[in-house]
Protein backbone atom coordinates (compact mmCIF):
# COMPACT_ATOMS: atom_id res chain seq x y z
CA UNK A 1 0.00 0.00 0.00
CA UNK A 2 1.19 3.51 -0.75
CA UNK A 3 1.30 6.42 1.66
CA UNK A 4 -2.27 7.39 0.77
CA UNK A 5 -3.92 4.01 1.34
CA UNK A 6 -6.89 5.55 3.11
CA UNK A 7 -7.39 8.30 0.53
CA UNK A 8 -10.23 8.21 -1.94
CA UNK A 9 -9.78 7.10 -5.51
CA UNK A 10 -9.17 10.53 -7.04
CA UNK A 11 -8.08 12.58 -4.01
CA UNK A 12 -10.70 15.26 -4.83
CA UNK A 13 -10.23 17.44 -1.74
CA UNK A 14 -6.46 17.65 -2.19
CA UNK A 15 -6.82 18.40 -5.89
CA UNK A 16 -9.37 21.18 -5.32
CA UNK A 17 -7.20 22.78 -2.63
CA UNK A 18 -4.13 22.60 -4.88
CA UNK A 19 -5.97 24.18 -7.80
CA UNK A 20 -7.45 26.98 -5.66
CA UNK A 21 -4.08 27.76 -4.05
CA UNK A 22 -2.34 27.75 -7.43
CA UNK A 23 -4.81 30.19 -8.97
CA UNK A 24 -4.82 32.38 -5.85
CA UNK A 25 -1.03 32.67 -5.98
CA UNK A 26 -1.17 33.39 -9.70
CA UNK A 27 -3.80 36.10 -9.14
CA UNK A 28 -1.77 37.62 -6.31
CA UNK A 29 1.31 37.68 -8.53
CA UNK A 30 -0.56 39.43 -11.34
CA UNK A 31 -1.98 41.94 -8.85
CA UNK A 32 1.46 42.74 -7.42
CA UNK A 33 2.97 43.14 -10.88
CA UNK A 34 0.09 45.36 -11.98
CA UNK A 35 0.45 47.58 -8.92
CA UNK A 36 4.15 48.15 -9.49
CA UNK A 37 5.32 51.13 -11.40
CA UNK A 38 4.19 54.73 -11.67
CA UNK A 39 0.49 55.56 -11.49
CA UNK A 40 -1.51 58.74 -11.27
CA UNK A 41 0.38 61.87 -10.18
CA UNK A 42 3.68 60.02 -10.00
CA UNK A 43 3.31 58.98 -13.63
CA UNK A 44 3.03 62.62 -14.77
CA UNK A 45 6.03 63.72 -12.67
CA UNK A 46 8.20 60.81 -13.78
CA UNK A 47 7.07 60.78 -17.43
CA UNK A 48 10.41 61.88 -18.87
CA UNK A 49 12.63 59.84 -16.59
CA UNK A 50 13.21 56.15 -17.24
CA UNK A 51 12.89 54.20 -14.01
CA UNK A 52 14.78 50.96 -13.45
CA UNK A 53 13.09 48.33 -11.31
CA UNK A 54 14.58 47.95 -7.86
CA UNK A 55 16.76 44.96 -7.07
CA UNK A 56 14.41 43.58 -4.35
CA UNK A 57 11.46 43.99 -6.75
CA UNK A 58 13.21 41.99 -9.47
CA UNK A 59 14.08 39.28 -6.96
CA UNK A 60 10.49 39.10 -5.72
CA UNK A 61 9.13 38.75 -9.26
CA UNK A 62 11.73 36.11 -10.14
CA UNK A 63 10.99 34.18 -6.93
CA UNK A 64 7.23 34.39 -7.59
CA UNK A 65 7.63 33.06 -11.11
CA UNK A 66 9.89 30.24 -9.86
CA UNK A 67 7.38 29.27 -7.17
CA UNK A 68 4.48 29.26 -9.65
CA UNK A 69 6.51 27.15 -12.08
CA UNK A 70 7.45 24.67 -9.33
CA UNK A 71 3.85 24.39 -8.09
CA UNK A 72 2.62 24.00 -11.67
CA UNK A 73 4.91 21.00 -12.16
CA UNK A 74 4.73 19.47 -8.69
CA UNK A 75 0.96 19.33 -8.13
CA UNK A 76 0.10 17.39 -11.32
CA UNK A 77 3.10 15.10 -10.80
CA UNK A 78 1.97 14.24 -7.26
CA UNK A 79 -1.62 13.64 -8.35
CA UNK A 80 -0.52 11.35 -11.18
CA UNK A 81 2.00 9.49 -9.03
CA UNK A 82 -0.39 8.69 -6.21
CA UNK A 83 -3.48 8.10 -8.34
CA UNK A 84 -1.87 5.51 -10.63
CA UNK A 85 -1.56 2.94 -7.84
CA UNK A 86 -5.16 3.41 -6.76
CA UNK A 87 -6.61 3.18 -10.25
CA UNK A 88 -4.84 -0.08 -11.07
CA UNK A 89 -6.32 -1.77 -8.02
CA UNK A 90 -9.90 -0.61 -8.57
CA UNK A 91 -12.27 -2.42 -10.90
CA UNK A 92 -15.51 -1.11 -12.34
CA UNK A 93 -18.03 -0.78 -9.53
CA UNK A 94 -15.39 0.23 -6.98
CA UNK A 95 -14.19 -3.30 -6.19
CA UNK A 96 -10.58 -3.39 -4.99
CA UNK A 97 -8.43 -6.00 -6.69
CA UNK A 98 -5.33 -7.67 -5.30
CA UNK A 99 -2.22 -8.20 -7.44
CA UNK A 100 -3.36 -11.64 -8.63
CA UNK A 101 -6.74 -10.26 -9.72
CA UNK A 102 -5.11 -7.31 -11.49
CA UNK A 103 -2.96 -9.71 -13.54
CA UNK A 104 -6.10 -11.76 -14.19
CA UNK A 105 -7.85 -8.65 -15.51
CA UNK A 106 -5.02 -8.11 -18.01
CA UNK A 107 -5.05 -11.75 -19.10
CA UNK A 108 -8.86 -11.69 -19.45
CA UNK A 109 -8.57 -8.64 -21.71
CA UNK A 110 -6.05 -10.45 -23.94
CA UNK A 111 -7.92 -13.69 -24.62
CA UNK A 112 -11.42 -13.68 -23.13
CA UNK A 113 -12.90 -10.22 -23.67
CA UNK A 114 -13.42 -10.82 -27.38
CA UNK A 115 -16.07 -13.48 -26.74
CA UNK A 116 -17.44 -12.80 -23.23
CA UNK A 117 -19.42 -9.95 -21.73
CA UNK A 118 -18.07 -8.83 -18.35
CA UNK A 119 -18.88 -5.30 -17.17
CA UNK A 120 -15.82 -5.06 -14.90
CA UNK A 121 -13.56 -5.66 -17.90
CA UNK A 122 -15.68 -3.42 -20.15
CA UNK A 123 -16.04 -6.30 -22.58
CA UNK A 124 -19.16 -6.93 -24.62
CA UNK A 125 -18.62 -10.17 -26.51
CA UNK A 126 -21.49 -12.01 -28.16
CA UNK A 127 -20.02 -15.45 -28.79
CA UNK A 128 -19.57 -16.73 -25.25
CA UNK A 129 -21.94 -16.39 -22.29
CA UNK A 130 -22.39 -13.19 -20.33
CA UNK A 131 -20.17 -13.87 -17.31
CA UNK A 132 -21.97 -11.29 -15.18
CA UNK A 133 -25.05 -13.51 -15.39
CA UNK A 134 -23.59 -17.02 -15.81
CA UNK A 135 -20.91 -16.66 -13.11
CA UNK A 136 -21.99 -13.63 -11.08
CA UNK A 137 -25.71 -14.28 -10.63
CA UNK A 138 -26.09 -18.04 -11.10
CA UNK A 139 -23.25 -19.09 -8.75
CA UNK A 140 -23.65 -17.74 -5.18
CA UNK A 141 -20.21 -18.37 -3.65
CA UNK A 142 -16.80 -16.98 -4.67
CA UNK A 143 -15.26 -20.47 -4.44
CA UNK A 144 -17.95 -21.85 -6.75
CA UNK A 145 -17.39 -19.03 -9.22
CA UNK A 146 -13.66 -19.61 -9.28
CA UNK A 147 -14.12 -23.38 -9.73
CA UNK A 148 -16.51 -22.87 -12.66
CA UNK A 149 -14.13 -20.48 -14.42
CA UNK A 150 -11.11 -22.76 -13.82
CA UNK A 151 -13.09 -25.68 -15.23
CA UNK A 152 -14.10 -23.71 -18.32
CA UNK A 153 -10.51 -22.53 -18.93
CA UNK A 154 -9.06 -26.02 -18.47
CA UNK A 155 -11.68 -28.09 -20.30
CA UNK A 156 -13.10 -25.59 -22.74
CA UNK A 157 -16.77 -25.23 -23.63
CA UNK A 158 -18.78 -25.99 -26.75
CA UNK A 159 -22.33 -24.93 -25.96
CA UNK A 160 -24.59 -22.42 -27.65
CA UNK A 161 -23.24 -20.34 -30.51
CA UNK A 162 -19.52 -20.50 -29.84
CA UNK A 163 -16.72 -22.80 -28.92
CA UNK A 164 -14.12 -22.08 -26.26
CA UNK A 165 -10.92 -24.07 -26.73
CA UNK A 166 -9.45 -25.93 -23.77
CA UNK A 167 -6.30 -24.64 -22.11
CA UNK A 168 -6.40 -20.97 -23.12
CA UNK A 169 -4.46 -20.40 -19.91
CA UNK A 170 -2.77 -22.92 -17.65
CA UNK A 171 -1.44 -22.99 -14.11
CA UNK A 172 -0.92 -19.65 -12.43
CA UNK A 173 -2.40 -17.66 -15.33
CA UNK A 174 -5.62 -19.70 -15.24
CA UNK A 175 -5.80 -19.13 -11.46
CA UNK A 176 -5.38 -15.37 -11.95
CA UNK A 177 -8.12 -15.13 -14.58
CA UNK A 178 -10.45 -17.24 -12.43
CA UNK A 179 -9.72 -15.09 -9.37
CA UNK A 180 -10.50 -11.92 -11.34
CA UNK A 181 -13.75 -13.21 -12.85
CA UNK A 182 -14.89 -14.70 -9.51
CA UNK A 183 -14.30 -11.34 -7.81
CA UNK A 184 -16.01 -9.04 -10.34
CA UNK A 185 -18.68 -11.08 -12.12
CA UNK A 186 -22.12 -9.69 -11.40
CA UNK A 187 -20.91 -6.38 -9.96
pLDDT digits (tens, 9 = 90+) for 52-78: 667 787 788 888 888 888 888 887 777
Sequence-distant (≥ 6) Cβ neighbours of residue 29 within 8 angstroms = 64, 65, 68
Q: In Å, what is the CA distance from 9 to each residue of 14, 120, 156?
A: 12, 17, 37
Which three-class secondary structure string do you get for 130-165?
EHHHHHHHCCCCHHHHHHHHHHHHHHCECCCCCCEC
Does the pLDDT value for residue 24 go beyond 60? yes
What pLDDT is attached to residue 19? Answer: 83
Domains and CATH numbers, the chain: 12-88 (no CATH), 99-184 (1.10.760.10)
pLDDT digits (tens, 9 = 90+) for 107-123: 988 988 888 888 888 88
Say if pTM beats, i.e. exceeds, 0.75. Answer: no
**What is the pLDDT confidence band of residue 171, given thresholds at 50, 70 and 90?**
very high
Q: What is the mean pLDDT of residues 32-56?
A: 63
**What is the pLDDT confidence band of residue 8, given thresholds at 50, 70 and 90?**
very low
Q: Residues of 103-115 as b/e, b for ≥16 C-beta within 10 angstroms?
A: bbbebbeebbbeb
pLDDT digits (tens, 9 = 90+) for 128-138: 888 888 887 78
Q: Which stretches of the chain are assigned E, i.e. beta strand?
A: 117-118, 123-124
Amino acid sequence: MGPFASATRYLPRAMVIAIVVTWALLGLGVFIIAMRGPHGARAAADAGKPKAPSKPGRRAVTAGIAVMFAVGLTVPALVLAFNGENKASVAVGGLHLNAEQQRGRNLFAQACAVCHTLAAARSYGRTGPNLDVRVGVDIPTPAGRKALVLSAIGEGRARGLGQMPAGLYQGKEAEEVAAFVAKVAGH
